[in-house]
Amino acid sequence: MPVATPAQYRAMLDAAQKGDYAYPAINVTSLPTINGALRAFAESKSDGIIQVSTGGGEFASGTSVKDMALGAIILAEATHRLAARYDVLVALHTDHCHPKNVDKFLKPLIAATAERRAAGRGNLFNSHMFDGSELKLDENIRQSKALMEECARHEIILEMEAGVVGGEEDGHDTSGVANDKLYTTPEDMLAVYEALSPLGRFMFAATFGNVHGSYKPGAVKLKPTILRDGQKAVTDKHGKAALMDLVFHGGSGTPLEEIRETLGYGVIKMNIDTDTQYAFTRPIVDHIMKNYDGVLKIDGEVGDKKAYDPRGYLKKGEQGLCTRLKEACSDLLSTGKTLFGKV
């Protein structure tokens, strides 16, 4: 079926929250990465989230165009068409839009959804992320509220972040931030809930030491109990119904026991990008190294067209990504829990 409707997306989040599982949210940049993701969700019988970053959108628009919104629209439209061939629910999301990119990324994408709705079609995107973590919390909340009001008019869910996810992603480097910024406080979580909850449903990327990228065991010091303590501060004051939909950023390379721990604290979405990038690239490198003489025209030879045809190695990349994403579905306990045909 096509991409989930707003009502189906809310049902997905409700089911994950109630069932203590989460959806893998994979960043895509091309048709092979979209197809690999859809195949993984279908083979896992898991619903899932496909998302586009500003850098991914810029890449997809072409290296001579570099229009992040245009590229995101192209990838989203392709996903709508391709998802219709699968028996799972898929939601579309955008990742890490910093304040400087709101006018050239988020605003055009919200407008594109508004145009589709006016024409009687479904939303282009189900949700968007505003990453105002570089701002002071009060300004982050102010800008998030303004965007959330705009999104809510079109049944779009906003994800916001407070605190800083370490590392580097899409050219945004936070490796030099103060250590205490890597951990969201209970007071921060309470402030976010009280500011945004009156406006409707939202997702919150609280930070608990998570870092973008892949690191050797022990290099990243996660404190998942921060999520537990923040949720407790909110529910103690506002009741159990106030439990927030939390998002785990920087999930690549995280030990399984820490992933599973976060599920009990309200995480319903975990971003996976670094690990799937590697899973896509690794079999392509293997193909090149094993077929070196065929991929290159060496010493005046003609090479092997079957070896250097991009379809040959991109299929292997797609399969590698699919295999890794199926592992993520299993880790997050979403395998076999599709709501397709039920909502």
Q: Which residues are catalytic?
A: 95
Task: For residues 41 and 64, give the distance between their C-alpha atoms in angstroms, rounded to a whole number.
Answer: 33
Helix (H, G, I), strand (E, B) or coil at 214: coil
Half-sphere exposure of residue 36: CA atoms within 13 angstroms, side-chain side = 28
Give the tokens for residue 101: 């990119």
Cβ pair 206, 246 in contact under 8 A: yes
Residue 87 phi/psi, 5° resolution?
-100, 50
Angle formed by the axes of helices 107-118 and 68-83, nearest 10° = 40
Give me the amino acid identity at 273. Answer: D
Task: For residues 305 and 309, give the distance between their C-alpha atoms in angstroms, rounded to a whole number.
Answer: 6
Q: Write out the H or E segment, with its range, that includes residue 310.
A: helix 310-331
Helix (H, G, I), strand (E, B) or coil at 204: strand
* Nearest of 204, 330, 210 to residue 269 by alpha carbon: 204
Give the tokens for residue 245: 């939909």
Task: For residues 73 and 103, give the distance between their C-alpha atoms in angstroms, rounded to a whole number.
Answer: 15
Measured in residues, the chain has a length of 343
